[in-house]
Structure 1
Amino acid sequence: MPLYDYFCADCGGFRKMVRMADSALDQPCPRCAGWARRVLVSPFLAGRGDAAYAPGQGVPGGGGSWRRMCGFGCPHCATSR
């Protein structure tokens, strides 16, 4: 199942694995159980693993590992911050 991004007005954004057929439906927030709407984001396209291709290079405050580009509570970013 694909991951989709949702936004709760009280708690903020999160990602959830949802069936494609149900992806447009509001989903319960994992923190407060309130309803969250799906948000559209640009796709993450992985490139080569070296710094020359790291997302955010040349952007103030950006750069570094692709792991920094994840968000909304993905498991590997939550432990690296």
Structure 2
Amino acid sequence: TINTVSEVIRGSQVNQDYFASVNAPSNPPRPAIVVLLMSMVNERQPFVLRCAVLYCFQCFLYKNQKGQAEIVATLLPATID
């Protein structure tokens, strides 16, 4: 389940890096974390699933400076040099 994945990646840089590299089988392929976040913000998904995805995202970011920096970079406006 999603909660099991969450516990496995929480605080483990190796597992967090591997999780970040996993792509969901979609066309085009997307990172699994993106697919999970898309399901979290979809109000038609069950509340329990949305909470599990939020916990997974929290575990992904826990003690994961690389993951945190990548998330922040996606939120910052693009600069023109």
TM value normalised by structure 1: 0.22
Name the TM-score, length of structure 2 as normaliser.
Answer: 0.22
Could you say which structure has the higher helix fraction?
2
- Which structure carries more relative contact order (alpha carbon 8 Å, separation 6+)? 2
Q: Which has the higher strand share?
A: 1
